[in-house]
Amino acid sequence: MIEKDIAVLSPEKLGRDMTIIAEVILEKESHAQLDAFRRKMREAPCVQQCYYTTGEADFIMILLVRDIREYEKFTQDHFFDESNVSRFKTSVVMNRVKVSLDVL
Protein backbone atom coordinates (compact mmCIF):
# COMPACT_ATOMS: atom_id res chain seq x y z
CA MET A 1 0.00 0.00 0.00
CA ILE A 2 2.93 2.38 0.59
CA GLU A 3 4.16 3.77 -2.71
CA LYS A 4 6.97 5.92 -1.38
CA ASP A 5 8.37 7.11 1.94
CA ILE A 6 9.22 10.82 1.63
CA ALA A 7 10.21 13.87 3.63
CA VAL A 8 8.18 17.05 3.22
CA LEU A 9 10.60 19.91 2.65
CA SER A 10 9.94 23.61 3.05
CA PRO A 11 9.90 25.27 -0.40
CA GLU A 12 10.74 28.63 1.18
CA LYS A 13 13.83 27.29 2.94
CA LEU A 14 14.97 25.76 -0.36
CA GLY A 15 14.57 29.07 -2.19
CA ARG A 16 11.48 27.98 -4.12
CA ASP A 17 9.16 30.66 -2.80
CA MET A 18 6.70 30.73 -5.70
CA THR A 19 4.05 28.08 -6.37
CA ILE A 20 2.45 28.11 -9.80
CA ILE A 21 -0.60 26.21 -11.02
CA ALA A 22 -0.47 25.80 -14.78
CA GLU A 23 -3.22 24.45 -17.02
CA VAL A 24 -2.12 23.26 -20.46
CA ILE A 25 -4.21 22.56 -23.54
CA LEU A 26 -2.55 20.52 -26.27
CA GLU A 27 -3.13 20.93 -29.99
CA LYS A 28 -3.32 17.15 -30.61
CA GLU A 29 -3.64 14.20 -28.23
CA SER A 30 -2.11 11.18 -29.95
CA HIS A 31 -0.49 8.59 -27.69
CA ALA A 32 2.98 9.61 -28.85
CA GLN A 33 2.33 13.31 -28.23
CA LEU A 34 0.81 12.68 -24.80
CA ASP A 35 3.73 10.46 -23.83
CA ALA A 36 6.23 13.06 -25.04
CA PHE A 37 4.59 15.80 -22.96
CA ARG A 38 4.36 13.54 -19.90
CA ARG A 39 8.05 12.67 -20.22
CA LYS A 40 9.07 16.34 -20.44
CA MET A 41 7.05 17.19 -17.35
CA ARG A 42 8.53 14.26 -15.39
CA GLU A 43 12.03 15.46 -16.30
CA ALA A 44 11.44 19.13 -15.42
CA PRO A 45 12.85 19.74 -11.90
CA CYS A 46 10.41 22.52 -11.00
CA VAL A 47 7.31 20.42 -11.78
CA GLN A 48 6.21 19.00 -8.44
CA GLN A 49 2.95 17.44 -9.63
CA CYS A 50 1.45 16.88 -13.07
CA TYR A 51 -1.99 15.46 -13.84
CA TYR A 52 -3.54 14.38 -17.15
CA THR A 53 -7.12 15.59 -16.74
CA THR A 54 -10.58 15.67 -18.26
CA GLY A 55 -12.36 18.96 -18.81
CA GLU A 56 -11.02 22.13 -20.38
CA ALA A 57 -7.32 21.54 -19.68
CA ASP A 58 -5.43 18.44 -20.81
CA PHE A 59 -2.83 18.78 -18.04
CA ILE A 60 -2.81 20.59 -14.71
CA MET A 61 0.49 20.94 -12.90
CA ILE A 62 1.96 22.37 -9.73
CA LEU A 63 5.35 24.00 -10.08
CA LEU A 64 7.74 25.33 -7.45
CA VAL A 65 10.01 28.06 -8.80
CA ARG A 66 12.44 30.58 -7.34
CA ASP A 67 10.81 33.57 -9.01
CA ILE A 68 8.77 34.67 -12.01
CA ARG A 69 11.87 34.74 -14.21
CA GLU A 70 12.40 31.01 -13.65
CA TYR A 71 8.76 30.36 -14.55
CA GLU A 72 9.07 32.56 -17.64
CA LYS A 73 12.04 30.44 -18.79
CA PHE A 74 10.06 27.26 -18.08
CA THR A 75 7.14 28.52 -20.23
CA GLN A 76 9.55 29.43 -23.02
CA ASP A 77 11.24 26.02 -22.97
CA HIS A 78 8.18 23.83 -22.40
CA PHE A 79 5.14 25.74 -23.70
CA PHE A 80 6.09 28.38 -26.29
CA ASP A 81 8.82 26.26 -27.93
CA GLU A 82 6.57 23.16 -27.91
CA SER A 83 4.54 23.05 -31.12
CA ASN A 84 1.86 20.80 -29.60
CA VAL A 85 0.94 23.24 -26.79
CA SER A 86 -2.08 25.17 -28.01
CA ARG A 87 -2.31 27.43 -24.95
CA PHE A 88 -1.76 27.54 -21.23
CA LYS A 89 -3.16 29.38 -18.23
CA THR A 90 -1.19 30.35 -15.13
CA SER A 91 -2.34 30.95 -11.57
CA VAL A 92 0.12 32.18 -8.96
CA VAL A 93 -0.53 30.83 -5.46
CA MET A 94 -0.83 33.64 -2.92
CA ASN A 95 -1.07 31.41 0.17
CA ARG A 96 -0.72 27.68 0.81
CA VAL A 97 -3.93 26.91 2.69
CA LYS A 98 -3.48 23.13 2.75
CA VAL A 99 -0.75 21.00 1.23
CA SER A 100 -1.01 17.25 1.68
CA LEU A 101 -0.74 13.92 -0.05
CA ASP A 102 -2.44 12.10 2.83
CA VAL A 103 -4.95 9.42 1.91
CA LEU A 104 -7.53 8.81 4.60
- Are 92 and 20 in contact by the 8 Å Cβ rule? The answer is yes
pTM value surpassing 0.75: yes
CATH of the structural domain 18-92, one choice from 3.40.50.1100, 3.30.9.10, 3.30.70.920, 1.10.490.10: 3.30.70.920
Hey, which residues does 64 pair with through a beta bridge?
19
Distance (Å, rounded) from C-alpha 77 to C-alpha 1? Answer: 36
Per residue in 16-64, pLDDT (tens digit) is: 999 999 999 999 989 999 999 999 999 999 999 999 999 999 999 999 9
DSSP 62: E
pLDDT at 4: 85
Beta bridge partners of 56: none
Residue ranges with strand state E in 8-58: 18-26, 47-52
The letter for the amino acid at 67 is: D
